[in-house]
C-alpha cells in the first residue's frame, strides 16, 4: 500500500512541475502569439482591400447594430486611402464542417467585393482547407453586392461560386461569411 502512495505522490509532483513549466512558457509567449495574430489580421485586411492604405476599426455602437442583425460578424474596419473612405473589411465566423471558419471580406464603397481570405479554421486538409487557395478565394473578387452569392457544383456564373469538390459544406460556409460581410457593409454604409 505504501508503494502505491509513494508512486502516486511522485506522479503528482511530476505533473505539478510540468503544469508549472507549461504555465511559465505560456506567460512568456502569449504576447508574441497575440502580436502574430494581429499582424496576420492586418495583412489579411490589406489583401482583401488593397486600395486602402490604413484601417480604422468602426465604433462599437455601429458594430453592435451589425451584431444585432448577425452575431457572427466579429469586427469591421474602414479602409482609408489618405482621408478618403475606399471600403470596409469584415471578419465573420460562419460554421463550417470542422467548426468556425474565419472569413475576412473586403467590400469597396461602390458595392463590389474586393477580396476574401480564410483565416483560422479546422476544415479537412486537402478538402475544406482548399478554401485558402487562390483558385477558390479568387472567385469572390469583383462580385456585386446587389444580390446574394450562392454556391453551385459546376458552371458558376454571375453571383455564383463554384464549390470545392468534396467540400460543399465549407464552400457554403465561406460564401455565407461573405454574404454576412455584404449585409454588414449595407448596414454600415446606410444602404
In this prediction, residue 122 carries a pLDDT of: 78
Pairing between strand 54-57 and 84-92? Answer: unpaired
Average pLDDT estimate for 43-59: 92
Q: How many CA atoms lie within 13 A of 15 on its CB side?
A: 6
In this prediction, residue 162 carries a pLDDT of: 86
In this prediction, residue 167 carries a pLDDT of: 82
Asked if residues 50 and 107 have their Cβ atoms less than 8 Å apart, the reply is no
pLDDT band at 128 (very low <50, low <70, confident <90, very high): confident
Domain limits, the chain:
46-189
In this prediction, residue 117 carries a pLDDT of: 93
> Could you give the strand order of the β-sheet that contains 113-118, starting from the edge strand earlier in sequence?
54-57, 73-81, 84-92, 103-108, 113-118
Average pLDDT estimate for 148-170: 86
pLDDT band at 130 (very low <50, low <70, confident <90, very high): confident
- Is 90 exceeded by the pLDDT of residue 97? no
In this prediction, residue 76 carries a pLDDT of: 93
In this prediction, residue 114 carries a pLDDT of: 95
- Is 80 exceeded by the pLDDT of residue 63? yes
- Is 80 exceeded by the pLDDT of residue 1? no
Asked if residues 162 and 139 have their Cβ atoms less than 8 Å apart, the reply is yes
Separation CA 140–CA 91 (nearest Å): 15
Asked if residues 125 and 98 have their Cβ atoms less than 8 Å apart, the reply is no
In this prediction, residue 109 carries a pLDDT of: 93
Kindly state the cell numbers that stand for 113.
467585393
Rounded to two decimals, the pTM is 0.80
- Is 80 exceeded by the pLDDT of residue 24? yes
- Is 90 exceeded by the pLDDT of residue 166? no
Mark 13-33 as b/e (b = at least 16 C-beta within 10 Å). eeeeeeeeeeeeeeeeeeeee
In this prediction, residue 156 carries a pLDDT of: 82
Per DSSP, 59 falls in state: P
Amino acid at each position: 500500500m505504501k508503494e502505491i502512495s509513494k508512486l502516486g505522490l511522485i506522479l503528482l509532483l511530476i505533473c505539478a512541475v510540468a503544469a508549472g513549466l507549461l504555465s511559465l512558457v505560456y506567460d512568456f509567449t502569449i504576447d508574441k502569439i497575440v502580436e502574430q495574430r494581429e499582424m496576420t489580421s492586418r495583412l489579411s485586411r490589406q489583401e482583401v482591400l488593397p486600395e486602402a492604405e490604413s484601417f480604422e476599426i468602426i465604433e462599437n455602437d455601429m458594430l453592435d447594430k451589425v451584431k444585432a442583425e448577425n452575431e457572427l460578424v466579429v469586427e469591421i474596419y474602414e479602409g482609408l486611402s489618405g482621408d478618403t473612405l475606399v471600403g470596409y473589411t469584415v471578419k465573420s465566423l460562419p460554421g463550417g464542417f470542422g467548426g468556425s471558419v474565419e472569413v475576412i471580406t473586403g467590400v469597396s464603397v461602390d458595392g463590389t467585393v474586393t477580396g476574401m481570405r480564410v483565416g483560422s479554421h479546422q476544415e479537412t486538409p486537402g478538402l475544406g482547407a482548399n478554401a485558402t487557395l487562390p483558385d477558390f478565394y479568387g472567385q469572390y473578387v469583383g462580385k456585386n453586392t446587389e444580390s446574394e452569392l450562392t454556391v453551385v457544383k459546376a458552371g458558376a456564373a454571375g453571383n455564383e461560386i463554384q464549390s470545392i469538390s468534396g467540400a460543399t459544406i465549407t464552400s457554403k460556409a465561406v460564401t455565407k461569411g461573405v454574404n454576412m460581410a455584404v449585409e454588414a457593409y449595407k448596414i454600415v454604409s446606410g444602404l
